[in-house]
Structure 1
């Protein structure tokens, strides 16, 4: 069998994933299960893996996926409980003093804070107004479409960094190390996207007007994301950075208001922000305590642990962010005084919504595990190393971007390509960390230009059929992001070899 044919057969499950999702518009669950079946069949009949080996690799992948599904289930439950409690109908309206030209100020918050706390949703305030608003700023439907897509700019740390956790597990890189290196590629993009959101909202002249807010958001997000990822917890970095950016920006605005440099905005019908934030306080507080206090961490990592040593599986139920999300959901149920019927409705919605997402996650990770164990990933990496050589480091972000564009999910993209990136690093005798970081960040940013994400946001904003217009805006932006990521990899790799901090 020729090398090229062998490479094509080894890559066939990934090629099928690209075609099934990107071309045939197949649901992710069906595509993932089909990819797994194809990988298992090829492993048995062409790559000489035994039935017992394929089963072993499959179980290993399923168990790894359960770590992610545990977080996903309770994350969705918290979302539905907050929605039932009304937090999406004004409780998150930020009652801050804004300038009279409040679109740009609100856009600064969206560009810097909403990506962390789950962007892409419209916020509504008051009973009289039924136009989309963002942190008190009136925006057009077109602006809402574009801004909703750009709120995906913090995907590596969104949803408690689920995608980054998958990347670390499949690439074999310690999570804290991946959390340290990914910001090197990600931090410049905070500035780019905050800048872009302001331009979309008010035009180029608004940049000078809101330059102070842009810089505050950028510096706070960049520094806190890196510091928390390195010294506390990668899962907590997004929430901590978003909270810091919001507090610093609001404090700055209030100081200006006291000095008479900024007018106030007396809105009507606003609900208190504090009540809506309590579930997040519980969430962040629990993760911080279990990660930062050794005695509590010892209890959380030794009590209620599921493990299967034969497969290298270990799920610390109390230490996982999934348990923190569960606690936050319980607090929200009590806080909003939801009836039992409402609580059961939230659970039903969660189960209905989580099933396809969980099956897609399980399918893609099981596929990657089978391909890796049967040697298919190694075959692809060996041939790619022959074709690209050392230049593959510059190509690595494009591989991650392809997965993000096709799947519309950082988690799915990392599940598909993280083992391949690791194998490439091994073939080229390079440190795996740069390939893993490039995969993680590039896949995350390209999700905002994926066909699935474009269609979802257009439908949510009420502009179905406007995907082409959104793509014309977002395409060049994510293209510029990809160039910045490639440059970051090429600069960071020699810098780390020279012992310089990155």
Structure 2
């Protein structure tokens, strides 16, 4: 009975969202309310309840602030770019290689990946869908292929979901990012197969030569991703993996637009990439920025370095680009758009992280892991991918998925005697991939493709990919 009380908040959130009738904010609030009695029981009267709930809720809110800062700053950048050059954004797709297959690959794997890593929030999905529609791909197949833009979600929005996951699991961030990158190749093989199947079906020009080129570009991207996590930082690794390839693609494109046009379109991204890479890769500058203007209200929580944090870099980019391109009277409209687009994400991030912190601090994940280990025995870890997929698919957020499940997965790994880093990385990667199938993200994709209300038809097109990804994740657990 006690175990059921402990797991009730997670089941309640997932169950309410699965009905399709309860918004994510309300479902998360219900989970937070259900967390209170579970935490009270788990503490066994050994702590002052008022003090515990107050302090741990503040710690959860502090963790949430790191994600909220990136979310709001990323949306601000996006809306500044839209306001400054709304018609020019689509010109970026013209820099892709010539053949339909090569264009579709470049859009779905690399160009949209760069945008997703820089801004997050599904903006890369929009780029991929719009580009594929311009190639003549019908709306539903465009969504099915465009979802490949979401494969770098662990590094999306400057890696904030992975950063939060590391903080919740008390894991070294750089290693966590590196382990996550190391798990990507099997999933990428599946996603490449998905792309090739659609390329053949749509008549985009699938050939042995194009498949070989796809493999070369993909290996280059994930080699750079691994190097970025190994030698730079999680928040820049996705940019390191994609930005050089976008530049190379432009150089190799015989029909590329003039350099002046490309610079006009890509200027905000170049600003962002330049600021981030210089502050991460130039060691003296990096150390200096991390040592000034530090805010750390809790010793056991991550600090917020105002001169170094990724969200601050995003906001500085928005301010600099806006000062060059916008009129002062446009500022108010951009701020309103940013809040309208981000308020749901802000609310759910805050609630989920307070909920996660309360559960983790009361020891609930460890007790649940021991109970599951006792029930499932040597097969306990096989449930890791399922837990991750359900959490990712029903919250649509890497941050929310890791908030719900990563403490439990880490505790389960410890209970089973497995490598905590590998299990946590599998949670991070699997949960991230399944955020693509979140009903809200599918509805957003339908809006991008101009078929609002077509969600049921989209699921018919992508349903086969879900079990293949899940089976891949389950097979990976056999080697953990």
What TM-score results when the alignment is normalised by the length of structure 1? 0.86
The 5 Å alignment of 1:188-199 reads 188-199=186-197
Q: 1:120 aligned to 2:125?
A: yes
Q: 1:104 aligned to 2:104?
A: no
Structure that is richer in helix per residue: 2
Q: How far, CA to CA, are the matches of 2:167 and 2:464 in structure 1?
A: 32
8 Å contact 1:190–1:221 — kept in the other structure?
no
Q: Which residue of 1 aligns with 2:342?
A: 354
Q: Which residue of 1 aligns with 2:318?
A: 329
**Structure 1 unaligned regions, length at least 5:** 125-131, 255-263, 494-502
Q: Post-superposition shift, 1:15? A: 0.6
SS in 2 for 1:94: helix
How many residue pairs align between the two structures?
A: 467
Q: How far, CA to CA, are the matches of 1:292 and 1:98 in structure 2?
A: 30
Q: 1:69 aligned to 2:65?
A: no
8 Å contact 1:6–1:379 — kept in the other structure?
no
Q: How far, CA to CA, are the matches of 1:356 and 1:90 in structure 2?
A: 26
Q: Post-superposition shift, 1:311? A: 5.3
SS in 2 for 1:121: helix
| Pairing partner for 2:15 from 19, 22, 47 | 19
What TM-score results when the alignment is normalised by the length of structure 2? 0.90
The C-alpha deviation readout for 1:405-437, integer Å capped at 9, x for no partner, is 111111111111111111112222332101110
8 Å contact 1:282–1:327 — kept in the other structure?
no
Q: How far, CA to CA, are the matches of 1:25 and 1:291 in structure 2?
A: 44
Q: How far, CA to CA, are the matches of 2:283 and 2:395 in structure 1?
A: 39
Q: How far, CA to CA, are the matches of 1:89 and 1:75 in structure 2?
A: 19
The C-alpha deviation readout for 1:233-273, integer Å capped at 9, x for no partner, is 1111111211233234444454xxxxxxxxx58x8x99922
Residues 301/270 of structure 1: CA separation in 2 closer, same or farther (3 Å cut): closer
8 Å contact 2:90–2:127 — kept in the other structure?
no
Q: How far, CA to CA, are the matches of 1:372 and 1:123 in structure 2?
A: 38
Q: How far, CA to CA, are the matches of 1:470 and 1:391 in structure 2?
A: 34
Identify the range of structure 1 (42-51 vs 26-35) with the bigger mean alpha-carbon deviation.
42-51
| Pairing partner for 1:474 from 441, 462, 466 | 462
**Structure 2 unaligned regions, length at least 5:** 117-123
The list of structure 1 runs, each at least 4 consecutive aligned residues, that deviate by more than 3 angstroms after superposition, is 45-49, 87-92, 94-99, 132-136, 247-254, 309-313
The C-alpha deviation readout for 1:156-210, integer Å capped at 9, x for no partner, is 1111111111111111111111111112221233343244234324537614352
Q: Which residue of 2 aligns with 1:296?
A: 285
Q: How far, CA to CA, are the matches of 2:60 and 2:183 in structure 1?
A: 28
Q: 1:150 aligned to 2:118?
A: no
Q: How far, CA to CA, are the matches of 1:457 and 1:54 in structure 2?
A: 39
The C-alpha deviation readout for 1:300-326, integer Å capped at 9, x for no partner, is 112111111355352111111111101
| Pairing partner for 1:432 from 417, 420, 433 | 420
Q: Which residue of 2 aligns with 1:226?
A: 226
RMSD of aligned Cα (Å): 2.5
SS in 2 for 1:438: helix
Q: Which residue of 1 aligns with 2:400?
A: 412
Q: How far, CA to CA, are the matches of 1:332 and 1:168 in structure 2?
A: 32
